[in-house]
Copies of this chain bind each other. A is one copy, B any other.
Amino acid sequence: MSEIDFRRAQAPDLPAIVALLADDALGAAREDASTPLAPSYLDAFRAIDADPNQLLAVAVEAGQVVGTLQLSFIPGISRKGAWRGQIEGVRVARHRRSGGVGKRMIEWAVEECRSRDCSFVQLTTDKSRQEAHAFYERLGFIASHLGYKMGL
């Protein structure tokens, strides 16, 4: 595998991030990757970038964004005041899937959580994403919870 850098996303990465989110079985119906991007994407980027407890990240290979995820560092009272790291919006570019990019990206994210003194890392994944389930279980995650959502 060629060299991959993991780093905080910058504004110029945003179209590539949205394109990754859209190039997905579930994301295709939810995103709009046409440029110029919808202002709501830019607003969201600014909100994330301004929040020290949010880290939108990209995996970059040969100058191209080949993966993305978002980390949220969440303080909580439970578990003796533990911080939790939460991973959302994980995507790897179609042409780089099944090549270890996702594994390295999650391992990087887990290290970021450790460096922020999180006691655990959590994520949810749609029940239909069976390959993702096997992927996270291989990385040591336990499917201990059900994840509920409700649209507003």
On whether the beta carbons of B136 and A122 are closer than 8 Å, the reply is no
Whether B147 pairs with A120 at a CB distance below 8 angstroms is no
What residues of B have a CB within 8 angstroms of the CB of A119 in the complex? 151-152
Which residues does chain B contribute within 8 Å of A88, judged by CB atoms? 74, 76, 78
- Taking the closest CB of chain B, its distance from the CB of A90, in whole angstroms, is 10
- Known A-B contacts A70-B77, A133-B146, A146-B124; the reply to A152 vs B31 at CB < 8 A is no
Q: Are B150 and A142 in contact (CB under 8 A)?
A: yes
How many residues of chain A are within 8 Å of chain B by beta carbon? 68
Contacts A38-B81, A44-B75 known; list 20 others, CB within 8 Å.
Answer: A32-B80, A38-B80, A42-B81, A48-B77, A72-B74, A76-B88, A77-B89, A78-B88, A78-B89, A118-B152, A122-B124, A122-B150, A124-B147, A124-B148, A126-B145, A140-B150, A142-B150, A144-B149, A145-B146, A145-B147
A-B contact pairs, 25 of them (CB 8 A): A17-B77, A30-B79, A30-B80, A40-B80, A41-B80, A48-B77, A54-B75, A72-B74, A76-B89, A78-B88, A120-B149, A120-B151, A120-B152, A121-B152, A122-B124, A123-B147, A124-B145, A124-B148, A125-B146, A126-B144, A141-B149, A141-B150, A142-B148, A144-B147, A144-B149
